[in-house]
Amino acid sequence: MADGEVTTPADVGAETDKSPAAVEEASARRRGAGPKRGDGAEVSNLDIVRHHFELAADRLALADDVRVVFWTPYREVTVQIPVKLSDGRTHVFSGYRIQHNGARGPYKGGIRFHPEVDVDEVRALASLMTWKTAVANVPFGGAKGGVNCPGDLEPSELQEIARSFMDKIEKVLGPNRDIPAPDVNTNAQVMAWLMDEYGKLHGHTPAIVTGKPIALEGSYGREAATGRGCVYMFREAAPHLGVSPADTTFVVQGYGNVGSWAARIMQQLGARMVAVSDANGAIRSDQGIDASKLQEYLSAGGTITDFDGAEEIDPDDLVAVPCDVFIPAALGGMINEHNAERMRCKVIVEGANSPTTPAADRILRDQDVYIIPDVMANAGGVVVSYFEWAQNLQHFRWDEREVNDKLGTVMRRAYREVSGRAREEGIDLRQAAYLVGIERVVEASRTRGYI
């Protein structure tokens, strides 16, 4: 189904069989064609999020007009960012800020710098943020932003892009309107540039972005928050799965901020990392790879495939390494119908957004793999962003232990609420999380009088 296409009233809510299989079939029918196992189709992030939205909307029997309200974004901004780079040429990048739904509070979502950023990807991630903030039950709506530039530019070039982007979109931002955060290829330094540029027009406003450096009223614990939240989710699930964290082996796909922090915190529990990858390659060691030493090595400029004590493997073979827990923390669609059957793990904790396609979901369900989905697993970042925002509004700072304790409370609560819903309805965690998130957004919208 194309964006904004309205389903017919006869289709919406007409099914009486609410079994997972029947609902999934109805959703695929409604979209005209769902991603099916073995069809060889590549699936975009937008396709993935739309698929899960439709499944939940079918179970909730949302009317066709209401569906359009909750799927289509409230506002989309596209801007031109011309920048002269070190090659002497002026490159014209496209920047996007998409505000999906603000019924539950100000818009919240990261900004990524990546050459594959386009409007559909940002739409998908903005809608995912709407459901994610609702599942975590923090008072935000969902938004996302990005610029289709390389992430490995010179610092001066990245600064010029960041400042130009903020200058173009500042009219739709604000500490009570829309608060950006870091995402792929952006970090605390980029947030500092964005905050400073906004401050030139509006005065010192630290609550305009989160994920800032500590020196600029950033929050302790924010850098590790997404990875730490993934580990909290796993720890909450482990007793029900008969898994002991201290005896766990795990694999990390994507050793960036999320993956490296998840690995280091898993290691603190006694778990052993047996394989890992980043953009430069993949390595494996059944005896274990020291997550902290690997991070130090990479931070010093080393290449992952040259790390001592591990053997280089084909990145495509990473999914086939036997382990208890697999943590995808790279980009969307990395686990798909072409490699899902090769996976030899018990649990997947999704650190990335939309890393698993719907076709892979079905394959992994058949293999009894327990998936803790992105819409809840990687919510730790936005939870601590909420804490940072609250601290900034008061110009008051919590210590790191308090931040981590509060994060644990929120993540454990979210897991219990979603897993309880999954048990009640006989569905998996992903479907239950979407149900919980969408219900909360619908309730807020009805209370406001929007629908």
Write the pLDDT tens digit of every residue in 305-346.
Answer: 999 999 999 999 999 999 999 999 998 899 999 999 999 999
Checking if the pLDDT of 31 tops 90, the result is no
CA distance 427 to 66: 24
Q: Catalytic: 144?
A: yes
CATH fold match for the domains 75-216 and 225-377? yes
Over range 179-193, report the average pLDDT: 96
Q: Can you say whether the dihedral through the CA atoms of 374, 375, 376, 381 is positive or negative?
A: positive
What is the per-residue pLDDT for 269? 96
At 137, the pLDDT band (50, 70, 90 cuts) reads very high
Distances in whole angstroms, Cα of residue 115 to Cα of each of 100, 125, 150, 153, 388: 22, 16, 5, 11, 29
- Six token digits for residue 42: 């590549």
What is the per-residue pLDDT for 72? 96
Checking if the pLDDT of 289 tops 90, the result is yes
CA distance 371 to 313: 25
What is the per-residue pLDDT for 76? 98
Checking if the pLDDT of 416 tops 70, the result is yes
Compute the residue count for the chain: 451
Among the residue ranges 36-45, 257-266, 342-351, the one predicted with the least confidence is 36-45
What is the per-residue pLDDT for 32? 37
In this structure, whether the domain defined by 225-377 belongs to CATH 3.40.50.720 is answered with yes
CA distance 300 to 80: 35
Q: Where are the domains of the chain?
A: 75-216, 225-377
At 19, the pLDDT band (50, 70, 90 cuts) reads very low
Query: In terms of CATH, what superfamily is 75-216?
Result: Leucine Dehydrogenase, chain A, domain 1 (3.40.50.10860)
What is the per-residue pLDDT for 27? 42
Over range 241-258, report the average pLDDT: 95
Q: One of 18, 36, 108, 144 is an active-site residue; which one? A: 144
What is the per-residue pLDDT for 34? 35
